[in-house]
Chains A and B, each alone.
Chain A
Amino acid sequence: MSHAGHTVPAPAGFVPHTVAHHFESQEQEYQSAKLGFWLFLVTEILLFGGLFVAYFYYHTVHHDAFSIGGKQLSWKLGTTNTAVLLFSSFTMAMGVRSAQLSQKKAMLTYLVLTFLCACGFLVVKYFEYSAKIDHGLGAGSMFHPHDPQLLGYEGLSMFFALYWTMTGIHGFHVLCGMVVIAWLIWRGAKGELHAKHYMPVDIVGLYWHLVDLIWIFLFPLLYLVP
């Protein structure tokens, strides 16, 4: 039985899950967590929504400067990172699938792969960021371009302000994702995630896909800006 306060039997070798006291059934618990998480994703989209509005507004105002700004970024590194994140979304999805099938080893492998992809993304970002700083292309008060040709473009500082803010906040989300994926790996290793209780993997998976999706929008807007 899967009633409130009751323990749901787990497949052999796994730790059983106990339904929280105020739920009637595990189904209700799962549905609640999932709806709650979708709502949280809505708040994330709105948070980035504000930044996208600022981007589009200033892109209209400083069209040329934004085009020059985009050319200062390395589209090769950007593409690499896009590929890395897309692949990590795939491994995450496979992790969820393995959890649903109670395949502990496969799940842990996929989760570790996802974690490593996130690390890779941040390492690439680190090289990009330091190159920008070296060229004096920081945000706001740190924007002093070394290349004299860039000085004439009013609005270029705005492009880099948005570049740093948007990718910075996105990078922070990647970091948070690594923390929760590490938490999944820890719980998974203890045998707490399985066919009768895969909700945490499912939810972190949703979060990770959103982080990926936001990057899919950031990449063309910043790196491939016409």
Chain B
Amino acid sequence: MTAISATSVHETHAERKNYLNRDSSFMSWAGTLDHKRIGLMYLTGVMFAFLVGGLFALLVRLHLWDATVDVATGVKSGGLFEPGKYNQYFTMHGVFMVFMFIIPAIPASLGNFALPLMLGAKDVALPRLNLASFYLWLAGTIMAIASMLLGQVDTGWTFYTPYSIYTQKAVVMMGLSVFVLGFSSIFTGLNFIVTTHKLRAPGQGWFRMPLFVWAVYATALLQVVATPVLGVTVLLLGFERLYHIGIFDPQFGGDPVLFQHFFWFYSHPAVYIMILPAMGIMSEVVSVFSRKPIFGYRLIAFSSLAIAIISFIVWGHHMFTSGQSELALFLFSFLTFFVALPSAIKEFNWVATIWKGSISLEAPMLYALSFLVIFAIGGLTGVILGTLNLDIHLHDTYFVVAHFHYVMMGSTAMAFFAGLHYWWPKMFGVMYSRFWATIGALVIFIGFNATFIPQFVMGSMGMPRRYAHYVPEFQGYHQASTIGALLLATGIAIMVGYLLASLFGGKKAEGNPWGSPTLDWTHTSTPPVLENFDDQPIVEREPYDYTLILEEAKQRVQNA
């Protein structure tokens, strides 16, 4: 076994070239097969998509500041855009955030970087496929931008037929983009499954893997099994527009509800492609910053798999008002409740891990605590929406919008930020400002809730989603929401600011600044070298065993 202490590894190899500075030529990045560099390229990419998607969200929110309509006369007043433009902007917001940001965000950037390190592997199993996956992401993103310039898409990110067949916009190009992005996601997932099965270090049994690996593994199963159905769906939509084959078009005897079934067969599991890796980060961060072994390791691991499996049989809950049989409605509602069980198991286990732990409120932990609160709200409002009779009232209102933003933005993005702050020193070898990180996390938390709590309220009062103009009695809620969105944007600007600042003259990071017990911190230098480990690590301990970390800390205190 190699040296236990990452600090000592770091000191011994202080002068050695790491994966970042070993070669700075353009081709050494563009053609790299190193999972860490590919992870960083993905990170840059998804952050770009996040900022673009966020910009569209701000446009939408600013428009809704005073975009009212008088019901009696039909006269519209206020607002920044005409309804057509508004439709395009919320579509672009959804497409960028879903397909280009959230789905690849955690697995392809942080997962790519950390998974092989945590497993004790030199790289992912199929490095060329990994690079191909990144270039597919890039191609898909360029196509999405092209369709934005060619004539923006106004279908919403769900592309419901028959509207999407006949709208005079660049739907085919956007569909192609989604198809390509889908394959990028499949390749990432496929790679991680193979890596987890075949490249674990000696001694790294399934139940010694960090829970982040379990979560990314469960995500990868979903990516591989669900995404092809999305692929064939947008392919058929493309044929529909080009040749009018009629499969989804009632004019030719086709059935638009079939499109919805296909779409949600992918897009419900996709929700878990987004949230499962976030839950993985939670398990790491909550344990490390409570300095306590995770509570209920096996339950958390199995609940990831349970979520992945259940997520395949609940898609119909998106279609309670689309015309399914009563039996189907009943079954889908009933099955949906089961997703709440494994999710709640995780939530309770994290709380139990923090309980009586030695808590340090570093930035990753602040985001993790935000997740705990926000995910509880996002999850429970999901149970409300899964209830048949309540959904009839709440369907297609802002309540739904607020619910999925609590899950996608409030939970997944928050955990992504937690992971980003957690692995930032490992990635770049520098620390960000602790002061500004605290301020940023607080502003983001307050801004997020200020944006979406008013949306729960007005949604339950009947404010429909996707309307460009609304009746005046909702204006107060919309304005509160817009102020929240501006606050949220400020918080994110602060975060981007201090993270970038840390790259230029940030304090040099210690080898294992958080005292993490997993291989990615204990057995690699900071930042890691090209093939990660000097010698093949051998795993001899449970994943969240802090004995050595605590002993080392005691030593350091005695020496000082």
Contact = CB atoms under 8 A, between A and B. Distances in A.
Interface of A: 4, 20-24, 28, 31-33, 35-36, 39-40, 42-44, 46-51, 53-54, 57-58, 61-62, 139-142, 154-155, 157-158, 161-162, 164-165, 169
A154 B240 CA distance: 18
Contacts of B252: 140, 157-158, 161
B391 interface: no
B154 interface: no
B253 A162 contact: no
Interface string B223-263: 01111110111011001100111110000111100100010
Nearest to B224: A39
Interface stretch (B186-194, B374-382, B480-488): B186-194
Contact of A22 (B122, B191, B228, B235): B122
A58 B229 CA distance: 18
Contacts of A161: 245-247, 252
Contacts of A42: 224-225
A132 to B, nearest CB: 14
Contacts of B536: 24
Contacts of A158: 246-247, 252-254
A41 to B, nearest CB: 10
Q: Which 4 A-B residue pairs are closest in the complex by CB-CB distance?
A: A161-B245, A140-B245, A50-B232, A22-B123
Given A42-B225, A62-B253, A157-B252, A36 B231 contact: no
Contacts of A4: 122
Interface stretch (B125-133, B332-340, B404-412, B428-436): B125-133
Interface string B210-228: 0000000000000011111
Given A50-B262, A141-B243, A158-B254, A36 B194 contact: yes
Interface in B174-202: 186, 190-191, 193-195, 197-199
B258 A46 contact: no
Nearest to B191: A36
Contacts of B226: 46
Contact of A140 (B129, B225, B246, B255): B246
A40 B245 contact: no
A36 B191 CA distance: 7
A102 B195 CA distance: 30
Contacts of A39: 190, 193-194, 224
B194 A140 contact: no
Interface of B: 121-123, 125-127, 129, 186, 190-191, 193-195, 197-199, 224-229, 231-233, 235-236, 239-240, 243-247, 252-255, 258, 262, 531, 536
B198 A46 contact: no
Contacts of B246: 140, 157-158, 161
A141 B244 contact: yes
Given A39-B194, A161-B246, A50 B199 contact: no
Contacts of B240: 140
Given A31-B198, A43-B227, A36 B126 contact: yes
26 contacts: A4-B122, A21-B122, A22-B122, A28-B199, A32-B125, A36-B125, A36-B126, A39-B224, A40-B190, A42-B225, A47-B229, A50-B236, A50-B262, A57-B255, A57-B258, A139-B243, A139-B245, A140-B243, A140-B244, A141-B244, A142-B243, A154-B253, A158-B246, A158-B253, A158-B254, A165-B245
B198 A35 contact: yes
Given A35-B193, A157-B253, 8 more contacts: A22-B531, A43-B224, A46-B228, A139-B239, A140-B239, A140-B252, A141-B244, A164-B245
Given A140-B239, A141-B243, A161-B245, A32 B232 contact: no
A46 B199 contact: no
Contacts of A169: 235
Contacts of A61: 253
B243 A46 contact: no
B272 to A, nearest CB: 16
Contacts of A28: 198-199
A43 B191 CA distance: 13
B538 to A, nearest CB: 13
A60 to B, nearest CB: 11
Contacts of B129: 36
Nearest to A40: B190
Contacts of B191: 36
Given A22-B121, A36-B190, A49-B229, A162 B198 contact: no
Nearest to B231: A47
Given A32-B125, A39-B193, A142-B243, A50 B253 contact: no
Contacts of B262: 50, 53
Given A22-B121, A164-B245, A43 B186 contact: yes
A162 B236 CA distance: 10
B199 A32 contact: yes
B236 A165 contact: yes
B126 A32 contact: yes
A140 B239 CA distance: 9
B315 to A, nearest CB: 13
A157 B125 CA distance: 46
Nearest to A160: B245
